[in-house]
Amino acid sequence: MVIAIIGMLIALLLPAVQAAREAARRMQCSNHLKQHGIAVHNFHDTYQGLPPCGIGFYGISWYPLIFPFMEQTSLYQIITGANYNNKTGLNVVVGDWNRHMQWFNGVAGYAGKPLTEEERTGFGSIPIVKCPSRRSGVQLIKEGATTFHTGPTGDYAFPIGYSNNTAGQLPWYRLIPPNPPERDSDPNLYYGPLRQGIYQIPGNPTTWTCRDTMTRWADGSSNQFLFGEKHVPTDRYGICSAQTENYDCSILFLDPGNCDFATARRGVEVNATSGALGGGNPLVLDPRSINPFNSTSTIPTWRYAFGSAHPGICQFVLGDGSVVSVNNTTPEPILRYLTHVGDGNTFTRPWN
């Protein structure tokens, strides 16, 4: 009898304990996003500009650029080679997909000095890039026969707003301009909070500058998504193997058309002629979903979307650094407005 009563009490308490644990994980995830927002503001104060979404063709993503402002200066120095055991790091402007792989995987004969296993583990152990409701500990895509792009994985991305029919334009997910030349003749190629850095091509550039300041966010920083939780189906964690299964890849680099989804998600499509907004995605309701939008495309559309491991909501950090919990049923047009930095639309905010 006593055992039965104890068992009943445990059964009653277990949901409350699980709910408390999830609440703690959600709070920690919110704090991680908050730190992303603070890092962008500190970057802006230091360099008088926003961090680019990436630098160069096959170059690094925005993540390494803000590492020094996320207490990850040592990892940034490993990438750049600056003051780190006299190592030759990667050129943060000019990228090469195979070179990145050789560098991260420790391939013998690499022109610089490849990473050691301890250094790779350090990249995979950054807690601030992971949502604890989804994963924790060392998270790495490692070299293998089917591996597409190795490196640390993460759970946050920035929203892209893009023009849909500019002549000669790369698809929305290709964050890198044509090479050569860089498409500075069309600076409004994207309407999201971050855009490519400015660098010199053709040639072999060694420097870059910020393209934008926060003044570009014409709708106001409190009306702009900066980063959010990206959707990765629960059975796709750590998979980066082929062009249709490459959505949890390394957050360090941009590989045009292949691994951009590691650090970016689709926000809004803008008609290049009329300026009309369309083509966004709703938030994913089920974190297990492989095809949340019932697409018939051979390329899974879930890689475009934001979505959370937390029930009922998806968390975003706004341009002003505040973190909000957005209901998963928020109408798609409102999500589009929060992605476009200067659409001028008014709306009721989908959070308290």
pLDDT tens digits, 258-317: 445 677 777 666 665 556 666 667 788 788 776 666 665 555 566 678 999 999 999 999
Buried b (16+ CB within 10 A) or exposed e, 248-272: bbbbbbbbbebbbbbbbbbbbbbeb
* Paired residues of 60 in beta bridges: 253
pLDDT bucket at 137, cuts 50 / 70 / 90 = confident
* Per-residue model confidence as pLDDT tens digits over 188-212: 567 889 887 776 555 545 667 888 8
Asked if 164 and 279 count as a contact pair (C-beta separation under 8 A), the reply is yes
**72/193 Cα distance (integer angstroms):** 23
- Assess whether pLDDT exceeds 70 at residue 226: yes
Is pLDDT above 60 for 145? no
Taking each helix axis as running N to C, give the angle between helix 117-124 and helix 73-80, from 0 to 180 degrees, rounded to the nearest 10: 130
Q: Which two tokens stand for residue 224?
A: 């702009």
Tokens of 124: 């995979």
Pairing of β 313-318 and β 225-229: antiparallel
Contact yes or no for 253/61 (Cβ under 8 A)? yes
| Cβ atoms within 10 Å, residue 317 | 24
pLDDT at 349 (0 to 100): 87
pTM, two decimal places: 0.85
| pLDDT band with cut points at 50, 70 and 90 for residue 167 | very low
Separation CA 182–CA 283 (nearest Å): 33
Examine the pLDDT at 184 and tell me if it is beyond 50. no
pLDDT higher than threshold 80 for residue 337:
yes
